[in-house]
Amino acid sequence: MKGKKTDKKDEVVDISTLPKINVVTSSILLNFKNQERRSKLLENLYKSTNSAIKLICRENIIDFAKEKGIFVETQTKKEPNEEEFAKALSSLILDKSIPVMREKKASMEKNEEQKKLKEELINLINNPPPIDPKKPPNPKDKKKEIQNPDDIKILSNEDFENNADLMLLFYNFPLTTNEYKALENEKQNLNLFLLINEAV
């Protein structure tokens, strides 16, 4: 994929310039007859999720499909079909991934800067500049304290490659075997599937 248009008309994101991220996708279904209990649990799910975990309801996918023109609601068709759902979700995942890709790129660039700084400090400590004994000290010069290289924390490539960068939790999707198969056809495989039954 060469690029993706964003909300800004003049801005095009070149995916090839951004690092790959690890996206973990899960689905949760609530088998509750008691609507109040279901709503309370869903509310707690919203509160418990942090910036790294995005809770996406079935309705959110439908709204996104409408916004992107993937699905057009009619009097006889209130929801996308399986293929439209899968296409919308695939596009939504990419939409959520791009900001995370940008953040990861910035973190990797910052890490490289810190790595170079650490190498320079170690070299400066091991090879201090020579002092000319004939040159009188300048009282205006302030003694600069060299930063301890050990205070600079450097992340390894494994740290960037192995951590989960984005976690998406889908609520009430997929609901049917056909919806699940359509996701597989879009090469969107769920890492975890949770079914919570109401306690008797």
Give yes or no for a contact between 69 and 61, defined as CB atoms under 8 angstroms apart: no
Bigger pLDDT: 54 or 200?
54
Give yes or no for a contact between 89 and 188, defined as CB atoms under 8 angstroms apart: yes
Domain count, the chain: 1
pLDDT at 51: 63
Give the whole-number percent of the chain exceeding pLDDT 90.
48
Does some domain include residue 18? no
Altogether, the residues listed in the chain come to a count of: 200
Please state, in angstroms and as integers, the Cα–Cα distance from residue 141 to each residue in 27, 130, 131, 136, 138, following that order.
Answer: 63, 16, 14, 11, 6
pLDDT at 11: 61
pLDDT at 146: 67
pLDDT at 130: 79
- Gap between the Cα atoms of 52 and 26, Å rounded: 13
Q: What's phi and psi for 158, nearest 5 deg?
A: -65, -35
Does some domain include residue 144? no
Does residue 2 register a pLDDT over 50? no
Domain range enclosing 157: 23-126+151-197
Bigger pLDDT: 166 or 47?
166
The predicted model scores a pTM of 0.76
Does some domain include residue 182? yes
Average pLDDT over residues 90-118: 94
Average pLDDT over residues 103-123: 93
CA 18 to chain centre: 12
25-39, 63-77, 139-153, 186-200: range with highest mean pLDDT: 63-77
Does some domain include residue 140? no
Q: What is the rounded average pLDDT for all residues in the chain?
A: 84
Does some domain include residue 103? yes
- Gap between the Cα atoms of 159 and 154, Å rounded: 10
Does some domain include residue 136? no
List beta partners, residue 32.
none
- Strand pairing category for 4-5 and 12-13: antiparallel
Bigger pLDDT: 46 or 102?
102
Does some domain include residue 86? yes
Does some domain include residue 9? no
Give yes or no for a contact between 30 and 42, defined as CB atoms under 8 angstroms apart: yes
